[in-house]
Amino acid sequence: MTHQDIPLSAALAATAEDRLFFDLAGIEERYASLLRELPGVTVRFAMKACPVDEVLARLAEAGAGVDAASIPEMEQAVRAGVPIGGIHYGNTVKSDRNIADAHRLGIRDFATDSLEDVAAIAEHAPGARVFCRLAIDTRGALWGLSDKYGCSTADAVTVLETARELGLTPSGLSVHVGSQQMTVEAWHSAFERLAEVLTALDGRGIALDHVNLGGGLPVPGCLDRHGRPLDPPIDKLFAAIRDGMAYLGAVGGHRLGFVVEPGRYLVAGQGAIRAHVSRLSARRGRDGRRQYWLYLSCGKFNGLYEMDELQYPLVFPTHGGPGVRRVPAVVAGPTCDSDDAYSPEHGLVQVPEALASGDPVWVLSCGAYATSYMTQGFNGFGPLPYTCVDGGGAGGAGKARGG
């Protein structure tokens, strides 16, 4: 990848300090492209992917709502300009106090997946609307997200029937096909499961008004942990979603709208980190073979948490050109934790052999989960400050945060 291919290249090149950059204009364009692909859907940004005030404000201005999982997320979204009616409580794991606090804030839409949770919502958020999350097959995703949340078809019917009996409004169903879902089959399976539950509910006189299709839309730009390019069939995935929406629209007496909860899709490719080389070193491993290690100034605990499953693209702006000699290296962060590295068994990265301590490194396609997974100074390596820019230019209207 050349420097010209990088939307944030001007901002990255203009700083000599480690920093995370977000392209606000690029994020807004991703939002617009999603609406073009899925006309008529309601978008509620999964803010856990990028809980940055400027990002939330830009998406709110464009018309997006928020999928929130906690009271602090709800409060932050409201401060950023998201209308309270555009926020739902998307976490099925919540205490009585959480429910009551959300209700006091004005939240009226709650995710659920159990009778115990429904009873608590009825007590602490009387009259609320509830949508039930289904457990589905998430094979084909980098992160399945299939065990902690969701219930069976039979349980979903019981949960929503009980919600009606307790004075709540059974309003919808939700699914999540897994994060970075790469297969069309997962969407087909999800729509079949949704149709099954909708048919059963129709037979019990329960008419829902929406289906929440969750997140999971994949993005290109990274390699998997084995070093293979992630090249999702995004056109086919969108076609499958549009077909599935039309299919569900014909089921029973429901008058369905559709909600999506993109996170990674909106922000991953619109974030980049300016880091630097701590050291490129070579030493012999237990097998006696010489192995190069590239230690960066940021890693799993300050910006690159997903390096267990992903290899982020790296650009070395001071070592360009076709004649640069490269060597295969394990990429690692700066801490003393051995997990703070790409696994040597999963694939090495070709890096310039002449790299020296202090040389800049640009880490691309890291806008998703970079801020939300950062720790407060693990091993003394602090979270990266961030800057938001418009259009990726160094002279954009970005505001530096975090020092």
Q: Greatest CA span in the chain, whole angstroms? A: 72
Please give the pLDDT value at position 322. 84
Q: What residues does 326 pair with on adjacent strands?
A: 352
pLDDT in tens, 178-207: 888 889 999 999 999 999 999 999 999 999
The pLDDT of residue 6 is 52
Sign of CA dihedral 249, 253, 255, 259: negative
Percent of the chain with pLDDT over 70: 94
Cα angle value 215/221/224 (rounded, 5°): 80
The structure tokens listed for 251 are: 């089921």
- Where the chain has pLDDT below 70, the residues are 1-7, 144-146, 344-346, 391-403
Buried b (16+ CB within 10 A) or exposed e, 141-168: bbebbbeebbbebebbbbbbbbbbeeeb
Is the torsion defined by CA of 284, 285, 288, 290 positive or negative?
negative
Q: What is the pLDDT of residue 388?
A: 94
Delineate the domains of the chain, giving CATH numbers in brackets. 90-262 (3.20.20.10), 269-401 (2.40.37.10)
- In this prediction, residue 403 carries a pLDDT of 37
Instruction: Provide the pLDDT for residue 391.
Output: 66
CA nearest to 270, candidates 25, 54, 13, 5 = 25
